[in-house]
With several copies, the nearest count.
Chain A
Amino acid sequence: MLNEQQIRADFPILSRTVHGKPLVYLDSAATSQKPRQVIEAIVDYYRVHNANVHRGIHALGDEATELFEQARATVAKFINARDPREVVFVRNTTEAINLVARAYGGRVLGPGDEVWTSAVEHHSNLVPWQRIAAERGATTRYFPMDDEQSLPESALEMLTNRAKIVALVHVSNAFGTIHPVERAIAAAHAVGAVVLLDAAQSVPHMPVDVQALDCDFLAFSGHKMCGPMGIGVLWGRLELLEAMDPFLGGGSMIQEVFYDHATWAEPPHKFEAGTPNVADAVGLAAAVRYLESLGMANIRAHERDLVAYGLRALGELPGVRVYGPADPDRHGGVLSFTVEGIHPHDLGTILDQEGIAIRSGQHCCHPAMRALGISGTARASVYLYSLRQELDQLVAGIARAREVFDLA
């Protein structure tokens, strides 16, 4: 069980007001708020240790390098990576997926090959594959979704050995679905494909173990897990990272540079060109320690409770349709819904006047929305600091919106 009061006191922003009302922040799937422990880690880095890394010789440089590599080790342990060298620091999930698309996909894909994703992917797990597939003469294919916006296991039979890469969202940001990725990973491996998991919405919210999952690449963003913006993680199997092309070229990713060619450093440095974002890597490590101090299983239990509560409360409202699995065991901290007669955008504005922050729209999932024949949904997403009482306020806000639109 999480100590709600203590946790909320850790997040300075949660005590502010919006339009004169206390902030009810239900947009954590877009980005999470930051505890003071993370903010303080960044401040401490800049006030005391700041230097460039891996260029050593002076004390600050040594300290910064040690903090940076410790941050890598902290993240590696958090997702149970075999080796810290499997952790590449990037800006965000989007960059991580682009890195794999180009440096792995660009190497292995050829005409006739297939990249599989699903009907419910975030644009960040669609566009990079569309682009590299087009460049290499390969094809992108899509698993369909069932009527709970979940990946049906039967769809996995569509995989053949033409599939070289399977790139799947672990937990959907648009519908909250926790997809049965274990089966998908096994099915992909059975046809010889490697699997990238878009873990932007899973790593922040539940225990994730790359060895237990047996995936090949995992991508996630610091800013969605109590960490700072500007830092994200690509985890990859060491042997895959070693065999891959580099991504960006420049300082730090090289072994030796000549006028006519260059040789590459080993992973992870091979993929970290230029001055890395040391301060925010240090901030991310503080976020990981914060999450670990609460326990990822406890965080998931807290969110599961909220989602079960929210699914029930929203389901009782007239004209409300909630997307994603009805079973809270298969539903992450995202409540995605529509209210008949009120466009999600209008609902968002009305709730904002009550201090309630939700997100409305397509949630970077145009194709999925088009497939469902809707122009978007309203999305309330919870995190470790969210309260049942905030979902009550959401429900009251929806009632208010129905009044504004003369529906009540």
Chain B
Amino acid sequence: MLDELYREIILDHYRNPRNRGELADADTKVRGNNPICGDEVTLYLKIADGKIDAARSTGNGCSISQASTSMMTQAIVGRSLDDALALIGEVEGMMRGGGVPEGPDLDDLAALEGVRKFPSRVKCALLPWETLKQSIQEYRGT
């Protein structure tokens, strides 16, 4: 069962996080945290014409939260804000037993599917996605 959680691709994203670091001219900068385990993510987005042009992150936490963050920053660049919101919904759905998201740049995300067998870790996987949702809401001023 542990193999389903710690798939090679997750450990790879954990050890070599993509899009890591601050984004100097970010349009949004939002910090999310999980008060119980101490995971934290700060997400920087560059947004133009309703589209995410760049995404970077800082923070620290467990392999799941950090790998999920890394995968997310890969997956969302180039997507419209509405597409990104839909993707958040798909990832949440996957954690509740739905299918894996499909589409360009989304292959890695499927590796998160195994998390749903570990209920106490679902929060870790969703932390960056909740932070993304908040970023979009802040950007849109809602």
Contacts and interface: CB of A to CB of B under 8 A. Distances in A.
Q: Do chains A and B directly touch (beta carbons under 8 Å) in the complex? A: yes
Interface of A: 19, 54-58, 61-62, 65-66, 254-256, 265, 343-346, 349-350, 353, 360-362, 366, 369, 375-376, 404-406
A345 B62 contact: yes
Given A56-B37, A343-B62, A353-B1, 10 more contacts: A56-B36, A57-B37, A345-B61, A345-B62, A346-B6, A346-B63, A346-B64, A361-B38, A366-B35, A376-B38
B37 A361 contact: yes
A199 to B, nearest CB: 24
A349 B38 contact: no
Contact of A349 (B39, B60, B61, B121): B121
Nearest to B33: A256
B interface, how many residues as a size bin?
20 to 34
Contact of A343 (B1, B35, B36, B61): B61
A67 to B, nearest CB: 13
B17 to A, nearest CB: 13
A265 B36 CA distance: 11
A65 B123 CA distance: 14
Given A375-B38, A405-B11, A345 B6 contact: no
A360 B39 CA distance: 11
Contact of B2 (A61, A350, A361, A369): A350
A375 B120 contact: no
A57 B6 contact: no
Query: Which 3 A-B pairs have CB atoms at the shortest separation, nearest pair first?
Result: A56-B120, A345-B62, A343-B62
Interface string B61-80: 11110000000000000000
Contacts of A57: 37, 120
Nearest to B119: A62
5 contacts: A345-B124, A349-B5, A349-B118, A353-B2, A361-B38
Given A62-B120, A346-B63, A404 B36 contact: no
Contacts of B5: 349
B113 interface: no
Contacts of A54: 36
Contacts of B38: 361-362, 366, 369, 375-376
A405 B60 CA distance: 17
Given A62-B120, A405-B11, A375 B60 contact: yes
A255 B33 contact: yes
Contacts of B62: 343-346
